[in-house]
Amino acid sequence: MLILSPFDNSVIQRERLKALFQYDYRIECYVPAAKCQYGYFCLPLLYRDTFIGRMDCKAHRKISHLEIKSLHLEQHNFDEDSVVAAFVDAITQFCHFQKCDSVALTKVHPKHLTQRLHSALKTLG
């Protein structure tokens, strides 16, 4: 799984992204708070050849902690165990890149993945 920047070439052309991948994405930092659906600065998640979700996170640099405020996974046909494992691998790399030693996950959609993701992320702190 890849965690992409909202300004990555693959997502910057929003209409093309929607037409080719049926992935409706917009960065919500320019949207009034009341109209935000996924979070202030959501990052697109690409799994294999599918945009599978988005996450809103914040790196608390003074304490080396990554807070995942929300993780939203779209409906997909992939094995959930494989998706969870790929997400944990991606977050591990993302934490290293952000110089974060620990991670916390607050909100998950779909909700039935909450406990599984919390358990999988425990190894990161």
* Digitized pLDDT (tens) for each residue of the chain, 125 residues in all: 999 999 999 988 889 999 999 898 888 888 888 888 888 889 999 999 999 999 999 999 999 999 999 999 998 888 899 999 999 999 999 999 999 999 999 999 999 999 999 988 887 76
Q: How many domains does the chain have?
A: 1
Could you count the other beta carbons within 10 Å of the beta carbon of residue 81? 10
Tokens 């599984």: give the residue. Answer: 116
CATH of the domain at 75: 3.40.630
Report d(CA 87, CA 70) in Å as an integer: 13
Domain residues for the domain of 60 are: 2-124
Give 74's DSSP letter: P
Report d(CA 48, CA 83) in Å as an integer: 10
C-alpha 76: how far from chain center: 15
Tokens 């996950």: give the residue. Answer: 105
Nearest alpha-carbon partner for 87 in 35, 38, 52: 52
